[in-house]
Amino acid sequence: MAILCQPAVSVPDHVITMEETLALARSMHADHPQLPLALRLIGNTGVQKRHIVQPIEETLKHPGFEARNALYEAEAKARVPSVVERALDNAELRPADIDLIIYVSCTGFMMPSLTAWLINTMDFPSDTRQLPIAQLGCAAGGAAINRAHDFCSAYPEANVLIVACEFCSLCYQPTDLGVGSLLSNGLFGDAVAAAVVCGRGGTGMSLERNGSYLVPDTEDWIAYSVRATGFHFLLDKRVPTTMEPLAPALREISAQHGWDAEKLDFYIIHAGGPRILDDLSRFLHVPEEAFRFSRATLTEYGNIASAVVLDAVRRLFEEGGPGDDAHGILAGFGPGITAEMCLGSWTSSRPKGASLQSMLAPVRLPHLSATTEPWS
């Protein structure tokens, strides 16, 4: 029984408010023919503030892709370890108990992945498996949870660490002046999140079923154009309409499990923007309050890409959880257009006052061989 334990989330100290974002847009793009539209779209996001890794004066500069990627690596190495430590503490585990690290990020590039650095730096065992996911964008948070679920289904006593590291502000492109680009400049924020999926024991969302759905012929609706200056974010104006084809996918996976998507106890949904949440509420016939955790993330942090679903789960924990046996769904949406979905029930399976270490003897999984059945 794989359980998604309480996530840890950290955001940088530098803050830009909605008012500051709108003022910058007015001053920098005063002669833009579609400025009124861009201002209206930014204002409608509901994002009150965002956290960024540099002061806004530095964020607006473009020192080149090489310098930006070097900053991405430096900030990741400075910020990820403390978040990982808190996630491990939440699960009452040590680095030695982790069998797989899944690292998701779409805002910088490292090879080897940060997973290798974490293993060497934080005393994870040398046989810890690594799974970096770089090209699923905002959907990667859901994908990481699903791959952790798959791994724990294959190895029931395994523990998986998930890390999401997104510095969206390092993808700002001052020469991109389309309305979609101006909107994204007022929507995305930076954050680091981590969580453990425990094979046995723990409190949280017991993962029961997962699935993926690709909306046909939408692969160019959310994309990166990779140029000498780095990642240029492309956002099609049709993206906000994708909940109409995605809502049936959420209904279908729920029905496969014998559940009704309209009558679940909790919903963890990627907060790409307010219309995503508004439309999903309408198409699933659930009250807007059902998406309060996702909406709070959007309001306080903006769209933090793959980290959104983990932050929304954190907020569910901080509210006290929905109670044992409550049913819920988690869904991340991203390029493709792709939905990564999972169903689970809330559980408090660890005996009160007992740590997981007292319940389980240390287990190290065997190395995969050529004859080992693949877990995916």
Q: How far is CA 168 from CA 79, 138, 160, 241, in A?
A: 15, 11, 25, 23
Same fold across 3-202 and 204-348: yes
Name which residue leads in pLDDT, 202 or 100: 100
For 44-84, how does the pLDDT look when each residue is reduced to its tens digit (9 = 90+)? 999 999 999 999 999 999 999 999 999 999 999 999 999 99
Q: How confident is the model at residue 358 (pLDDT cuts 50, 70, 90)?
A: very low
Residues that are catalytic: 138
Considering the entire predicted model, what is its pTM? 0.90
pLDDT of residue 349: 67
Residue 43 is classified by DSSP as: H
Return all residues near 278 (Cβ < 8 A) that are at least 6 apart. Answer: 288
Is the domain covering 3-202 a CATH 3.40.47.10 domain? yes
Q: Which CATH superfamily is domain 204-348 in?
A: Thiolase/Chalcone synthase (3.40.47.10)
| Secondary structure (3-state) at 85 | helix
Residues composing the chain: 376
For 86-119, how does the pLDDT look when each residue is reduced to its tens digit (9 = 90+)? 999 999 999 999 999 999 999 999 999 999 999 9
What are the residue boundaries of the structural domains of the chain, listed by start?
3-202, 204-348
Q: pLDDT at residue 350 above 60?
A: no
At 252, give phi and psi (nearest 5°). -65, -45
For 265-293, how does the pLDDT look when each residue is reduced to its tens digit (9 = 90+)? 999 999 888 898 999 999 999 999 999 99
Q: What is the DSSP string of 277-304?
A: HHHHHHHHT--GGGGHHHHHHHHHH-B-
